Amino acid sequence: MYRYFLALRYLINRPINLLGTIGIMLGVWSLIVVVSIFSGYLGAVEEHLRSSTADLSVIEPPETIPFEILQRAIEADENVLACSPRLLWYGLLHPFGARVKSEVIGQTGAVVSETNFVSVIGIDPELDRRVTGFHGWLTEVIDEEMRVANPDRPLDDRADLPSMVISTSRMQREAASIGDRIRLTTGQSSGSRQSESLNFINATFALSGSFSSSYAGFDSLNVFVHIDRMREMLKSPAGSTNEIAIKLLDPDKAEETALRLTNTLKVLDPRMRFTSVRTWKQSNFIQLSSIEHQRSLMQLVLFVIMIVAAFLMYTTLSMMVTEKTGDIGILTAMGGSPLGVSSVFLACGLVIALVGSVLGVVTGCLSSIYLDDFNQWLKASFEIDLFPTRIYNLKSVPYSLDPLWMLIVSAIALMVGLVVSGLPAWRAARLDPLQSLRRD
C-alpha cells in the first residue's frame, strides 16, 4: 500500500513532476490533433475524389466493339447499375470572357491555379446522369447567371455552336457570361509510327453554364462537351469512346466487380491489349497515397515530441530519486524491499504518463472538434488564418478522430512512461539504504 500512498504524495507535493505530465500531454495532444486533421483532410479529399470519379472506369475499351455491345455486357453484371461512354481529350482554351489579364490568381477566390490547358470530357448527359454526379454539379451552382438553363440538357447546341460547360471558378475568373464563345485548340496525330504528324484542330464552343463538383482540383482541370460533338471534332466514328464510367449498386464491392468486368471484357476481346478496369481509388491512387504518405511522415515526426517528453520525464524522476535518497533509506529500514521501493518511483512514472495521456487525449479531442471555431475566431479577431480552408476548397477545418489511433497513442505514451521511469526506479532499488541513512 505504501508505494501508492507515497507515489501519490510525491506527485502532489512536487510541482516539477508537472513538467513530465505536460510533456507527455503535449506529445499525445499533437499526435491526436495533427493526425486527426490529416485524416479529416484525407477523408475530405477522398470524398471529393469520390464525387468526381465514377465507381469504376473502363480505360481504353476495345475500339473495335461498339459501345452498345460493351454497355450490354457491362450492365449485365449483378453489381452494375448503369454505365456511360466518355471521350477524354486535351486542349488549350483561348482567353475568353471579360477578364482583365493582369488579375492575380489566388486573391479573388479562385485560389487553385487554373491553367488554360484542360482535359475535355465528352459525355452523353442523359446516360451520364445515372453514373456520375455531373447533373448534381450543375444544380449546385448558386449564382443563377452562371447556372445552365436546363440541367437535364446542359450540352445542347446553342446558336449552331456546340456547348461547353466549365467550372464556376473558371467562369468567375474569366468574368465570362453564358453564351460567350470559347475557342479550343487541340491536336491529333496521324500517319504511321515512322511518319507520325500532328494535326492541329481548332473548334469553337458556346458557354452554356458552369458546374461545381466541390473538388477544386477537378474543377480547375476539366471542361465538359457533348460526346457527339467531340467525335465530330476528332473525326472519330459514331459510338467511339475511350473511357466508360460505371455506377455500382454496392460501391464497397468495387474491386471484385472490376475483376469480373475485366473477365467479361476479355471474353469480348481476348487480346484486350490496353483495356483496364479501375476502381475510383485506383484512378486516384497517386493523390490518395501522397496524402497518406504525408500523414505517416507527420506521425513519425510527431513521435519526436514524445521522445522529448520521455527525456523530460526521465530527468524529473531521476532528480526525484536523487533527492529522495534519505526516504529510500528509511523506507528500507521500515520494511520496504528493494522491489517495493523501486515501485514507488515506477508508480510515479506511470501516473505521470497516465495523467499526461488522459489530458492529451481529452485536449486533443477538444482541440480537433473546436479547431474550426478557434480558426474562425482568430481570423475574425486578428486576421490570422491557421488553416486556410479556401486553399483546400473546404468549408471548415476537417478532422477525423479515430478511437484506435487514440488507444495506440495512449498505449505508447504509457509504455514510454514505464520505460523511462524504469531506470530511475532501478537505481532506487540498488541504492544502499545505509548510505542514504548516513547522508544526513
Partner 1 sequence: MSQPILQAESVIKNFRLGKEEISVLKGVDLSLQSGEMLALLGTSGAGKSTLLHVLGLLDPPSKGRILYEGQEVQNLPAQQRARLRHQKIGFVFQFYHLIPELSALQNVKLGSMMDISLGAWWKRRGELDARARELLQLVGLEHRLRHRPAELSGGERQRVAIARALIANPKLILADEPTGNLDSHTADDVLELLFRINQERGISFLLVTHNEELAARCHRIVRLKDGVVIGEELPAQTGASQES
Q: Can you give the binding site for partner 1, defined by CB under 8 A? A: 1-2, 4-6, 9-10, 12-14, 326-327, 329-340, 433-434, 437, 440
Nearer to partner 1, 50 or 427 (CB): 427
d(CA 183, CA 117): 12
What span, in angstroms and rounded, lies between the C-alpha atoms of 141 and 144?
7
In the complex, least distance from residue 440 CB atom to partner 1, rounded to whole angstroms: 4
Nearer to partner 1, 9 or 153 (CB): 9
Q: What are the angstrom distances between the C-alpha of 157 and each of 161, 163, 246?
A: 5, 5, 26
Nearer to partner 1, 119 or 337 (CB): 337
Calpha distance 40→46 (Å, rounded): 10
Least separation in angstroms between CB 313 and partner 1:
19
192: CB partners within 8 A, 6+ apart: none
SS3 state of residue 237: coil
Buried b (16+ CB within 10 A) or exposed e, 107-125: eeebbbebeeebebbbbbb
Provide the residue count of the chain: 440
Cα separation of the two ends of the chain: 27
Which CB atom, from 257 or from 332, has the smaller least distance to partner 1? 332
Please give the radius of gyration of the chain, using alpha carbons only, rounded to the nearest integer. 32
Task: Look at the block and give the residue holding cell 479531442.
Answer: 365
Q: Rank residues 306 and 320 by Cβ distance to partner 1 and give the closer one.
A: 320
In the bound complex, what is the minimum distance in angstroms from residue 430's beta carbon to partner 1? 12
Closer residue to partner 1 (CB): 5 or 285: 5
- Minimum distance, C-beta of residue 42 to partner 1, in the bound complex (Å): 45
Burial 209-246 (b: 16+ CB within 10 A, else e): bbbbbbbbbbbbbbbbbbbbbbbebbebeeebbbbbbb
Task: For strands 222-226 and 117-123, give the pairing.
Answer: parallel
- Smallest distance from the beta carbon of 7 to partner 1, in angstroms? 11
Give min distance, CB of 15 to partner 1, in A. Answer: 12
Q: Which is nearer to partner 1, 5 or 274 (CB)?
A: 5
CA–CA dist 137, 151 (Å, integer): 9
Residue 353: CB minimum distance to partner 1, A: 20
| Of 47 and 323, CB closest to partner 1 | 323
- Smallest separation (angstroms) from partner 1 to the CB of 439: 9
Cβ distance to partner 1 smaller for residue 196 or 440: 440
Q: Are strands 197-211 and 117-123 parallel, antiparallel or unpaired?
A: unpaired
In the complex, minimum distance from the CB of residue 329 to partner 1, in angstroms, rounded to a whole number: 7
Three cell numbers at 252? 464497397
Task: Say whether 197 sits in a helix, a strand or coil.
Answer: strand
Which CB, 43 or 338, lies closer to partner 1? 338
Residues 6+ apart with CB under 8 A from 376: none
- The least distance separating partner 1 from the CB of residue 323, rounded to whole angstroms, comes to 10
Question: Cα(263)–Cα(270) distance, rounded to whole angstroms?
Answer: 9
Between CA 254 and CA 208 the distance in angstroms is 34
Longest C-alpha distance within the chain, in Å?
105
Q: Supply 69's cell numbers.
A: 455491345
User: In this structure, are residues 109 and 252 in contact, taking their beta carbons and an 8 Å threshold?
Assistant: no
